[in-house]
Each structure stands twice: as C-alpha cells, then as structure tokens.
Structure 1
Amino acid sequence: MGRKKKLKAIENVHISDIAAEGKSVAKVDNMVIFVQKVVPGDVVDIQVIKKRRNYLEAIPTKFHKYSEDRQEPICSHFGPCGGCKWQNLKYEKQLVYKQKQVVDAFERIGKIEIPELIPILASPKTEYYRNKMGFTFSNNRWLTTEEIAAEDESTVLDKRGLGFHLPGRWDKILDIEKCYLQRDPSNRIREAIKDYGMMHNLPFFDLRDQEGFLRLMTTRIANTNDIMLIIQFYENREKEIKDMMEYLKAEFPEITSLNYVINPKGNDTIYDLDVINYSGHPYIVEEMEGLSFRVGPKSFFQTNSTQAYNLYCIARDFADASKDDVLYDLYTGTGTIALFMARSVKEVIGIESVAGAIEDAHINAKLNDIQNAKFYVGDMKNLFNDKFLASQSKPDVIITDPPRAGMHEDVCKMLLKIQCPKIVYVSCNPATQARDIAILSSKYKLEKIQPVDMFPHTTHVENVALLTLK
C-alpha cells in the first residue's frame, strides 16, 4: 500500500473575501482555498487539510499581517465554540458581508436582478440579544490540548460539562463558563445547575451510550422579564427531580415558568413529549407594539425579540395592506406576523403544519381580542390547494416565512396559480429564497429586498423581499 500523499503548506496567502456560509477565501494559482479562523485582509501561511476537485480547505499556521477589519473576541470560548464565528470581525464589516451574501444568492443562484436594495438593518444589540438558549449535559466533555497533556495516572480530570456541541461533533460538548448571547440570569442559572448536578453526583448524559440522568436545559427570557426554564431528564427519578426543582425554585425566584421533561428518546426534541410545569405559569409572555404573545415550552418565537419587531415592521411596510385587504400568512408558526398585521387588514388567514403552534396562535388571538384572524393546521403543500382556497376569501396580500429549506415546489406552483397582487417573502436562508423567487419570476416582478441582521457575530442573515404581479 502506498503512502498517503502529504498535503502541502503555502506561504504568504492573502485572504481576499468571504464566501457562502461565512467561509474566508483565498485564491492561489486560480485555485479557491477556504481558510478557517481568518478574516479578509489577513496574510498568512496555511496548511492544506483537505483537497477537493475544485477547491482546497486549509488552516492558518502563521500570521504575517493582521487585517484592519479584525477585532479582539470578547468570549473566552471563541475558536472551539462554533456559535459566534465572526466575533473576530468588526461588526460593520459583518454587515457588509451579510448583505453581499444576500446579493450573491439572488444574482448567482436565482439569476435575478435586484431593482432596489435597501441597506441591511443592523441589530440594536450585538451581545445578549437571544431570548432562547439550549445547553447540553455531557459526562465526556471536550478537553483542551493542555488538559490532555496534564492528565496522567496521578491526575484525573472531571470530564462533566454543560454547554454547546462542538462544530461537527455530535458526541463532544464544550463546557461553557460564560456566554455572551443571553443576558443574566442565564449564566448564573446554568452554572448553578451544573454545580448542583456535580455536588449531588447526578449522572451527566453519555451522548454515545445514551445513558445518564441530566440531559439538556433550555432558558427563555422574554422582553417582559418573564423567565422560563426547561430541564430534560433522561430517566424518571422522581425524588432527584423534585429535589432539583425545589432547589431551583428557591434559588431563582425570578423564574416565572419552571418546567421539566422526561426524554428517553434518541434525540433532544420535545414536541412529541409531555412538558410538566412544576411551578409558575406554563408559558412566558413577549410583548410587541401593544400585543402580548404567550410562548410555551414548544412554541416558536423569533430568537432576537428586539430585531423581530423591526423585521415585522419591514414586512408590514412592504405589504402596504389596507383595511379592505385579505392577508394570508403562510408558515404562520404561532401566528406572530398574522396577529401583528391583523389590525391593518380586513381578515388574516394563517397556515402552519405544527398543531401546537396553531393552538398558541388561537390563544394569542383571544388574548389580544383579535377576531379577524383564522388559523389552519396542515402540511403546507397538502393543505394549500384549490379546495382550501375555494373555502376562503381570495388573498390581496400573501406573506410567506418558510423554514430554511424554503417553500415546496407545489407551494410555489400554487402561488403562481392564485396570482395574488403582492407577495412578501421573509426568509432566514437567502439561497432558498432566491431559488423560490426564480420560480415565481414567470409571473412576479421582484420590486425590492431588505436584509436584516438577526444574529450578530454569526454568518446567518434574514431577508425580506417584495414581489408584485406582472
């Protein structure tokens, strides 16, 4: 058997750009190279780690020049943690590359000319902006090189941890000391739970062997200061669960919704499980422009509450609906956009595939005394058909906010058939949005787009597009 060919090192490489998914790019001899942990403007020596047909992947081994666009990351976990990959890039430059990502998706993927591009809307907060965080327990956390070197026969490290999955490693958890994504008491709650579990020798979850007791915790902090905590236990140990819940109830009286779940499944999702409300309300409340939204343990709500309001305002401005209009809200979730728009139109019709979300939508409509909103549950491509449309008022405006995969082709075909005068397309994935709008372009004209930054220090970007019937 021949030796595996050694991958080459390259010196003095200039990092020139950022491509899709936030990968930094260099070009050497017309070969595209994606380089980790660098920013445009850096000059580095690199080691190639993967060779593909049309590109290479590499890591930096030496920096000759640091980019003027760099900044010092504030988080001690930057690097191993995959959560805030752009924390070393100045925020104003993050916005430039996010807007470029949207433009590239439309021009290169969709082959669509953008008639009007409204500059990206920056997030008012770049730290502590998330209202929801999840942390995983592990009995075999990721160890640093220094920790591995220090461990010998006389030194046994405590490998229990509570934090995030390492990028590309479902079985390794990075233990988190402080996270800058969610405001306090998030960090204090997480540390207290970890310390309690260690002190009482409660088994942290084994991700490989699927055994243990403490599995996952989720914190939600609303803009009303309501706080929800959900603990996932792998086993139903009644005494240990009660003791822990009583401890958290006493230690953190500010928690307004304390819950737990018994989850013996092979994944962490709780949508098909019973959530036990131990104390407080089984929900928290978010507020937006005088509207109240109950958010339960299984509810979806935009993760950046402040920027979500700005996003919905843009969608409302693009829709420019009147009091005589009928508005459809496709992929309505818990009805947030639908209810936000209800006061501006004659009637709102929301469609969503998750039954629990539609239950929340009905509750929120009643909570806000909104009587002109109707909600239906069903798979979008199956429910949104001729029969459904025949039973409803014809739409004057359609807002669609699908998941990252975008709209099913059958939904796009139905939109072409309906020929609604205006479509406002809200997307968390400009690539699939551009693909779908290319399909709709046979009958619709793209009028304008506006990117919105919901997740600072990450490569993710939202985008709102207005389409009008030709």
Structure 2
Amino acid sequence: MSRKNKKQIFTNIEIIDAGAKGKTIAKAPDGKVIFLSNAVPGDIVDVQTFKARKAYYEGKAVNFHKRSEKRTQPVCEHFGVCGGCKWQDMAYEHQLYYKQNEVVNNLTRIGHIELPEVTPILGSEKQYFYRNKMEFSFSDSRWLTLEEVQSDQDLGDKNALGFHIPGMWDKILDLKACHLQEDPSNDIRNSVKKFAIENHLEFFSTRNQTGFLRTMMIRTSSTGDIMVMFQFFKEDKKNRELLLDFIAESFPQITSLQYVINGKANDTIYDQDVILYKGSDHIFEEMEGLKFKINAKSFYQTNSSQAYQLYKIARDFAGLTGKELVYDLYTGTGTIAQFVAKQAKKVIGVEAVPDAIVAAKENAQLNNINNVEFFVGDMKQVFNDSFIAYHGQPDVIITDPPRDGMHKDVVEQILNISPKKVVYVSCNSATQARDLALMSDIYKVTKVQAVDMFPQTFHVENVVLLEKRSELSN
C-alpha cells in the first residue's frame, strides 16, 4: 500500500510574523503553525506544505493573493537561490523590527527574564557591501536552474565560482555579482573565473574529490588592506604561479596574496600551512587608534563598522572607572579586551584557540597595551578556582561565547565568583536567554541592546548587562 501523501494546500493564508532562522509564520486552518521561507509578514498566500509534524507544518507560498507593504525589491539577481540574504525582499526597517522582536521574545519566553525598558535595535549604516570577509568555492558542477535542466541545448562549461546552494553540499551557485563586499571583490572573483577557464585550470569536484582550484577567500579592511587566499587541492607549480601572478599584476592593490595546498576531504584551513606568495602575511584593522593584525586564520567580526558599535556598547555597559579587574571570556583575538583596557586596571582574556591567543598577544604588543594578559585552554577547565585565586577576583566579567552559549560549568563558576557586573555579548539570543535564566537568582538584567551586524539576514547580536541583585537593593 502506498504511503499517504502528507502534502496539503491551504488557501488565503496571511503571514503574521517572522521567526527563528529567517522563517516566516502563519496559522493553518487547523490551528497549527506553518513555517515558510519564501514569504514576508503581511503577504496573503496559498501554501503548499512539504512537512507535517504534530504541532506545525513546513511549507512554501505557491500563489500570492496580496503582497505585503513590508516588501521591497531585492537588489541581487541571485536572491531566492543564494542562501546568503534571506530577508532581502523585506524593507530594512521591518528587518530591524523582527530582529528586535526575536531578541525580546527569546529573553522573555525562554529565559523568563524581566526586562528593563528595551532601547531600539542599533541598525547598520551600511545595508549592503558591509562584509570584510567572503569565501567562495570553485566547482566543476554548477547549480543548474530547472530551465537549464530541461533544456536540450548545450550548456557549455559547468564551472562555477560562488556559494554553496543551501542543502546541496556539492552544488555551487555561479555568482555574477554579490552585494555583500565592496569592490574589488566582485572584480577579483570574476577575473579569476574568466582567467581559469581561458587557461583550462581544473575546477574542484566535491563529489569526486578531484581538480585543482578549490576555494578563494577575500578579506578587506577599513585601512584599505586587501588579502586574497587560494586553496588548491593539489600542487601544480606552473598553474599555481600562472594564476597568482595574474592576480598580483591585475590587482596591485592586493597587499597580501597567499595560498594553501589542501588535499584533505574538507576545506577548513586551521590545520593547514598558509604560504605567503606576495606582500605581507597579514592585514590590519583599526579601531579608535588600536591596530589589529589579521592573518588568514584570524577571527574578526565581519562587519567592521558595526563591530565598533558593538564593542562601544559592551564597554559602556561595563561602566569601567580604571580601578576594575576585568575578565574577558571567549576573548578570541583579544579585540574587546584591548578595546576596554585603557579604562580598566587590568584585563585577563581566556580563549580555547591557541592561534587566537598568539594573535591577541601580538596585537597587545603592537598597541603598547601592558595591562592585559591572555591565556589559552578549554574555558570550563581553565576558568577554575585556582585560576581565580592566582589572577584575582574580577569586578567585571565580559563574555562573548560562540552560538552554543556558555558551558554550564562556566555559568556555575561565574555564579561562584559573583562579580558585580557581567556583560554578556551574544550572537544567539536563544542560548543567551538559557544562560541568563541560570543566573537570574543572583543577577538582574538591567540593560539590553540588540545590534544588527548582518543586514538582509535574520542574524542579530545582543548585549545584556547583568548586575547583582544584592548590590541593586543597597
């Protein structure tokens, strides 16, 4: 007996909200929630479901009866296929509204946090061309449109240089123009592809693990530096030098040209040797006179101007007077630690990635900052009683964990130490809310500030100030 088809069609459904991961929300006639990825709040649509669960459906809009006033015309020709800018069809002021709404909902519903008056989300001055880092993949099997698949015509070469299609690990969208990184990013990418095809350089096959050209990373900075790094699947000195020399001659403004020979199954470079071909092995980012040296493996916030705003908020929430011992947990390359150092007595930074701590120490030396110390190790192991006893009881803790939030042992240690203030910077307000709930008996949330680091996407950063309830009652 054939399996019953779970797909249904619901007609004249109004999209009522936007939720997590960029999905929009509607209600089915039976009362269940419907999650959609191709509609905007205010649209009235017919929905075809493709997944049914006990409490919800997942579906897509297949017919539009009314288009929302919140809509705007996407600027990118790749919108709807590329997964990078899922909200490009929603006007920016509405993007900000739903981002702030998500933060408030997560803190109140997940964390059951009693919020102070919430200040409006800080929007980005740049809504396009704001990213300082982009990574592109080569493929000998580009993603084909339905029309191309059904066509009887010769499609020519199927090489691509662009982004992975969401949910398709071996298909790459061939980008014509991307609106996320300033030029010469598009010029470099398009020139590389054209040159590679003209010179018969092999594009990588993810499925077969063959080919030559694997990935290309472009980093830019507010100082005008440009880094380009290629990953080659195998060494081919003649063709490698042919491509690198072409790029160096065509784009003399590139200040760092590097490459990696990576023959392993995945294209992560953290365990690979990065080889300098021309220029410097790093670029610089600058913030309030501080310089930060960034190499090919460095983490740095990908929206430089909004990172500055984010760090100013964290520093303001900390309320430093020059007398405080500050712990900066998950310090990364020590950017926040150095940014607040001139207003603190001393800052201790802790991070699990050894290369990041090496960079943090180099940057501190570069900036002549003498009141910071950096330590490497697993946070839940390093951040222990003996560490506190040796380095001192912090007055303020700043924590900026990854998307998964803080380990419960780290939260427990913060509660044991019980500093006067905790400034919690998060890229995931859901896990932030979970951690705040664990701290709510001792700490009260007194300030909340959401920051939009990634316009045209559903991602949002949030900064929270926690103050000891016992101090507030005095």
| TM-score of Structure 1 vs Structure 2, range by shorter chain | over 0.9
Q: 1:204 aligns to what? A: 203
CA distance in 2, matches of 1:266, 1:16: 43
User: Shift of the alpha carbon at 1:209?
Assistant: 1.6
- Structure 1 counterpart of 2:260: 261
Query: Residue 12 of structure 1: CA displacement?
Result: 0.9
Aligned to 1:406: 405
Q: Per-residue CA shift, 1:175-201, capped at 9, x if unaligned? A: 100000000000000011111111111
8 A contact 1:86–1:458 mirrored in 2: yes
Residue matched to 1:458? 457
Report whether the alignment pairs 1:314 with 2:307.
Answer: no
Report deviation, 1:31.
Answer: 1.3
| Cα distance, 1:442 vs structure 2 | 2.0
Look up the match of 1:233.
232
State the alpha-carbon separation in 2 of the partners of residues 276 and 31 from structure 1: 55
Kept in 1: contact 2:230–2:258 (CA 8 A): yes
Deviation by residue 1:137-175 (Cα, 9 ceiling, x = unmatched): 1111100112122244xx143211011111111111111
Supply the AA of the counterpart residue of 1:315.
A
Per the alignment, residue 73 of structure 1 pairs with: 74
Determine if the alignment matches structure 1 residue 420 to structure 2 residue 409. no
Give 3-state SS (helix, strand or coil) of 1:230's partner. Answer: strand
Please tell me the residue identity of whatever aligns with 1:393: G
Amino acid at match of 1:337: I
Query: Which residue in 1 is equivalent to 2:2?
Result: 2
- Aligned partner of 2:144 in structure 1 is 143
Give per-residue Cα distances to partners, 1:195-238, cap 9 Å, x unaligned: 11111111111111222111000000000010000100010112
Cα deviation for residue 6 of structure 1 reads 5.4
Taking the TM superposition and a 5 Å limit, the aligned residue runs for 1:184-223 are 184-223=183-222
- Structure 2 unaligned spans of 5+: 470-474
Contact residue 446 and residue 468 of structure 1 kept, 8 A: yes
- Structure 1 residue 100 corresponds to structure 2 residue 105: no
Residue equivalent to 1:389: 388
Q: 1:236-263 deviations in whole A, cap 9, x for unaligned? A: 1122111111111111100000000011
User: Which stretch of structure 1 is more off in the superposition, 4-13 or 438-447?
Assistant: 4-13
User: Match for 1:19: what amino acid?
Assistant: G
- The answer to whether the aligner puts 1:52 opposite 2:66 as a matched pair is no
SS of the counterpart of 1:41?
A: coil
CA distance in 1, matches of 2:413, 2:217: 38
* CA deviation map 1:273-297 (0-9, x unaligned): 1100111110000010111111110
> When the two structures are superposed, what TM-score results if normalisation uses the length of structure 2?
0.97
> Aligned partners of 2:4, 2:228: CA distance in 1, in Å?
51
Partner SS state of residue 391, structure 2: coil
The separation in 1 between residues aligned to 2:335 and 2:359, in whole angstroms, is: 10
* Distance in 2 between residues matched to 1:3 and 1:339, nearest whole Å: 61
Tell me how far 1:444 sits from its aligned partner: 1.1
Moved over 6 A (4+): none
Q: Specify the code of the residue in structure 2 equivalent to 1:60.
A: A
Contact 1:257/1:284, CA 8 A, preserved across alignment: yes
The structural deviation recorded for 1:3 is 4.6
The one-letter code sitting in structure 2 at the alignment partner of 1:140 is S
The residue type equivalent to 1:20 in the other structure is: A
Distance of 1:270 and 1:108 partners within structure 2: 39
Match of 1:364 in 2: 363
In structure 2, distance between residues paired with 1:421 and 1:282: 41
2:49 matches 1:41: no
1:109 matched to 2:107: no
State the partner residue of 1:11.
11
Change (3 A) 1:6 1:419: closer
Q: CA RMSD in A?
A: 1.0
Residue 99 of structure 1 aligns with an amino acid whose one-letter code is: Q
1:439 and 2:430 correspond: no
Which residue number in structure 1 is paired with residue 428 of structure 2? 429
- Between the aligned partners of 1:50 and 1:6, the Cα distance in structure 2 is 7
Query: 1: CA distance between counterparts of 2:389 and 2:125?
Result: 43
Structure 2 CA distance, aligned partners of 1:437 and 1:267? 36
Q: Structure 2: how far apart are the matches of 1:431 and 1:268?
A: 29
The answer (yes or no) to whether the contact 1:132–1:182 under 8 Å persists in 2 is yes
Q: What one-letter code is carried by the residue in structure 1 that aligns with 2:60?
A: I
Match of 1:171 in 2: 170
Distance (whole Å) between structure 2 residues aligned to residue 380 and residue 366 of structure 1: 24
Q: CA deviation at 1:407?
A: 0.5
What runs of 5+ residues in structure 1 fail to find an aligned partner?
A: none
Paired residue secondary structure (1:212)? coil
CA contact (8 A) 2:6 2:51 kept: no
Structure 1 CA distance for aligned equivalents of residues 113 and 85 of structure 2: 31
